[in-house]
A and B are shown apart, each in its own frame.
Chain A
């Protein structure tokens, strides 16, 4: 970035020297980057910044000096590193500071009289760059879903370790029992996992990945051996690889902060997963444990919506009611197919029962697809 900016600046200089008037460069695409707008009221003795929390990204501080001294406004990162500053704010003037702030903790400072450390204030910047206006409820949503992901990944790791140990020990019965359980945690946080490139197909790819030039590995490879031949004697390396990949994705998922918008889209994506993979029985074609996945996807979707709930309550209480009704409906429909502390196999369901499940999912998908728009308001 730095170098390109250098080039732009140098080019500007060269153009200017040779008398060629450069045009205004690329104008920002209004649709993509809506900047945060922050108002700062500076006087000789005070520095009022109207927010203390922001979403990461382009921010525009509008600094008005109503004091009698010339003022300066700074945004400092840790160690007083200057992120941006605007000087020469004469009394009575308003000047603008545009700066791009990544997530982190900053300090704002007004310097009436252009000297000293200035009047400091805290500024927290959260999340990845988002075009969503900063909002405490949404900021909380991110944090609360983050906690959910942490708890699920911990369980995913534990259960995957047990599953891998069973596979390597050649214990087919135990491996079969553990398989849908381990996958439950995976399926709950699938939208997060899908954002990490080829780790997802390595862990969760079906046999079709071979057509894309990839090796067929992961859960479904072991599933195939467990349920078709029952011979898992050669699956040690596959199991080891699976554990390595799961560990990698757990580390990444815990470091990843999803934006509220990603949460909303994730909730929708999980339902699409159900419709495309679980209702059809395509996902667990050998073990037929699709309903475990179905339930896990549903729970994951519900968790994402639950994290967004405080924000949705503020913005669209009607939508929240609708979501509650439809979630309850899907849970009731799915609940008919419990078997012990697990679920019936996909093959045990009639066409009519599958259709009923599919309809309930579609009924839920409708209000869920509205969530993103409400969040982005």
Chain B
């Protein structure tokens, strides 16, 4: 049962992580008006997943019925999702800079968040694994109907529910962080997520036979990172850290994560104010001891980054309620 629960958790996290960061970002940057588009994207993805899952499971459709096609579908949607997420990462950077330059009043102007972009991003984040999840659901439902008990179905739902809860907690704690720290940290977090999604896409392209070298492993740490453990499920769901990645996967991961992190964390080229250039991400009103100062290197521990939620801040955080 626990194994089934972990499947639900992993598949669920792959979708909720991006969505929860997106929601937090919109709320933080005073764009609550975009939230309906997020839910529309999520809803559409869920409906389509359920519908196509049903077609494949209960009719003799040839659309996406072959595993190869599904791998290809997941690969393409993953790569598309990376494009959208990268876009968002650089919104984050822009936001962080606007704040560093104390241009908070201009924040919403600087971030002309397209509604289609928001919709597309949340849609892709969910549809990516939605179809696979729907298919697992149907098979669990069928085994329940076949008298095998409802255990797997409940475990699966429990896993997905847990993923949603984790997503919500990330959202809540993200809201508590002060603004500039939020943009820097969630941006960095998102880069790791996006690199993971890209790595996943490359892996699926290899499985679909579009790209070669599936069995050319970069390393094999399955002895240390047993895929059937809860922490392996968490790592796979959040950052697609797997025990046996192929060389090409790792190359794609590095080729994405390194330059994007560097671009994201480098000092602003044309700072609005010279003083801001020296400390681009220091919060103007950050109380001492609430947050760790951000160095210009990538966080060494992605998992730690995800949990980098400070203790309840001692002072009210500047947030979206402040209007210029």
Q: Which A residues are CB-close (under 8 A) to B11?
A: 88
Q: Give A164-222 interface residues, CB cut-off 8 Å to B.
A: none
Among residues of B, the one whose C-beta sits closest to the C-beta of A71 is B3
Stretch in B132-140, B165-173, B257-265, B310-318 touching the partner: B132-140
Most buried by B among A2, A69, A86, A115: A115
A21 beta carbon closer than 8 Å to chain B = yes
A114 to B10 alpha-carbon distance, docked (Å)? 13
Q: Which A residues are CB-close (under 8 A) to B77?
A: 13
Shortest distance between the CB of B193 and any CB in chain A (Å): 21
Q: Which A residues are CB-close (under 8 A) to B6?
A: 70
Q: Give B187-241 interface residues, CB cut-off 8 Å to A.
A: 206-207, 209-210, 214-215, 222, 226-228
Shortest distance between the CB of A91 and any CB in chain B (Å): 6
Determine if A70 and B67 form an interchain contact, defined as CB atoms under 8 angstroms apart. Answer: no
Determine if A16 and B228 form an interchain contact, defined as CB atoms under 8 angstroms apart. Answer: no
**With A16-B44, A94-B139 known to touch, is A88 a contact of B7 (CB < 8 Å)?**
yes
Contact of B243 among A6, A21, A115 (CB under 8 A): A115
A-B contact count (CB 8 A): 131
How many chain A residues touch the partner (CB < 8 A)? 47
B272 beta carbon closer than 8 Å to chain A = no
Taking residues whose C-beta sits less than 8 angstroms from the other chain, chain B's interface range is 35 or more
Most buried by A among B1, B47, B60: B60
Contact of A70 among B7, B139, B210, B243 (CB under 8 A): B7
Among residues of B, the one whose C-beta sits closest to the C-beta of A73 is B67
Determine if B209 and A68 form an interchain contact, defined as CB atoms under 8 angstroms apart. Answer: no
Among residues of A, the one whose C-beta sits closest to the C-beta of B133 is A88
B151 beta carbon closer than 8 Å to chain A = yes
What 3 pairs across the A-B complex have the smallest Cβ distances?
A25-B63, A90-B4, A114-B227
A positions within 8 Å CB-CB of B: 2, 5-6, 8-10, 12-13, 16-17, 19, 21-22, 24-28, 30, 68-70, 79-88, 90-100, 113-116
Q: A92-B143, A93-B140, A113-B226 are in contact. List 20 more A-B contacts (CB 8 A).
A: A2-B210, A8-B63, A10-B76, A12-B63, A16-B127, A21-B48, A25-B61, A25-B64, A26-B63, A27-B61, A84-B67, A88-B136, A90-B152, A90-B156, A93-B143, A94-B139, A98-B67, A113-B227, A114-B227, A114-B228
